[in-house]
Amino acid sequence: MNAVALTFDDGPYPSTTPALLAALGEVRATFFLWGEHAAAHPDLVRAIAAAGHGIGNHTWTHPRLTSLDTAARDREVRRTQELLTALTGIRPELFRPPYGDTAPAVAAVAAGHGLTEVLWSVDTRDWAGCSADEIVTAASAVEPDGVVLMHEGRPATVEAVPRILAALAARGLRPGPVRG
């Protein structure tokens, strides 16, 4: 199929989300939104949705979910679900646990909210402060049907996106959102 999912975690951020949306242009991606950030920047959540991008749940406070009890895990996911649904009119169907920190109990909470857990096949390590060149190089390892992990709030990621898109096109790969 030659599809590749581009994903962006932790947003939205006023400092980078508008530029990231511009860098993506007509390409659609999936944004796993941090509830506290979404609550602080509802217009950016609406802009992501209006541009046709997929929106996924990335919890309210970005905790390590395996360190929480079931009730706390549920609150993290439920509160974010409610906010994102209220802001966009679309109930998220995808969930990414912060740090990829998952276990059967975490997946069960997500499933209880009708969410499918999504991890990744390529971590660009942009969260570690990598340069745009390093992010582009890391993303180049993605294979068809792979999922590339990137983060909002990182200027180097915004800088890397046009080059990632060009490199994928040169390989005959079609970037897009996660297909749930």
Query: What CATH number is attached to the domain comprising 32?
Result: 3.20.20.370
* Signed CA dihedral, 48, 52, 56, 57: sign only: positive
Q: In which residue ranges of the chain is pLDDT below 70?
A: 180
Does residue 62 have an active-site annotation? no
The residue segments making up the domain with residue 141 are: 3-176
pLDDT at 135 (0 to 100): 98
Cα separation, 20 vs 50, in Å, equals 14
Tokens of 39: 């609550």
pTM score, whole prediction: 0.97
Cα separation, 133 vs 141, in Å, equals 13
Number of domain units in the chain: 1
pLDDT at 103 (0 to 100): 97
Does residue 101 have an active-site annotation? no
Tokens of 136: 């582009």
Given 9, 37, 41, 58, which residue is catalytic?
9
Given 37, 41, 58, 151, which residue is catalytic?
151
Cα separation, 137 vs 125, in Å, equals 11
